[in-house]
Structures are given as structure tokens and as C-alpha cells.
Structure 1
Amino acid sequence: MDARPDPLERDFQAPAPNRFWVADITYCRTFAGWVYAAFVIDVYSRLVVGWQLSQSVRTDLVSAYTLMCRSRYDLRCRSVSAG
């Protein structure tokens, strides 16, 4: 059983834009080495609202695309807690 919280309970639907965002990080091997891509998708529109590429998986990778999302959509940071 997976113990990680799931605030959306695997229901990837939203009543309006910018209500729920989901994020992921993936990687790809290139001739120059590994490249990591982090991105955020708006659940309602399915549009990528922020992204960042990096040669390493570090905190600044996530910080950079989070700032991109916040500046594009003028949003305040708030976390979704399970429960």
C-alpha cells in the first residue's frame, strides 16, 4: 500500500482553471548526458503552466518552475493538505 498523501484521490478533474495543478519530473539521456525536465500541468485545461530543464535533479530545478507558474498566473503559494 502506498503511504504517500493523495489530496485529489486520483480524480484528475477540476471545476475551473487554476484550482488544481499536478507536477512531475522526468529525465532523458542525450549525447551530452542526462537532462531532467520538471513541469506543472493545470488539471482543468491540461495546459503546461510551468516547466524547467536542468542537468541535475536539485531543489533549484523545482524552485525555478514554481516561480515561473506563480509569476505567470500571479498566484499565492498554498499547499493542499490531505484530510
Structure 2
Amino acid sequence: VNIEEKLRLMEGLRVALDLQQFHLMYQPKVDMRSGRIFGCEALVRWDDPARGVIGPDRFIPLAEESGMIVALGEWVLRTACFQN
């Protein structure tokens, strides 16, 4: 990712946090011996109106680098608790 794209993504991420442009997907955690589901993992995706759905590999490192990861983590936790 070049510098200009990185800056655009960072600014977009700030806006996305303000407008809550994210959704969660849940992935089951399965015990491989019994086949029993014992939990799930919340996976966050960014619904950018201009770029479409952006995977965490593109925005989580930017959120960590900029300090926005705390606000994003709080949103994920609040949303997962509400949905469950």
C-alpha cells in the first residue's frame, strides 16, 4: 500500500468509526475430536460505501498504528454482546 492509499484508508477508518460502518461475522470454534462447537469468534469487516467490504488484513494494522484499535475493539465488544 502506498502512502497516499494508506492516508486515504486511515481517514476513511476515522469516518467509519464515527459512522459505525462495520459488521461482525461469527466463526464457530469446533473441538476437532468431538465435532462439538464450543464457542465462536467475532470477525469484523468494514463496509466502506466507496470501496465495498474491506477485510481486516487491510485495516486492522492501520487501526493499530493510529491508535484507533481501542475504539474499534470497544465497538466490536459492545456489538457482539448486544447481538448475543
Same topology, TM > 0.5: no
TM-score by length of 2: 0.30
Q: Which has the higher helix share?
A: 2
After TM superposition, the score normalised by the length of structure 1 is 0.31
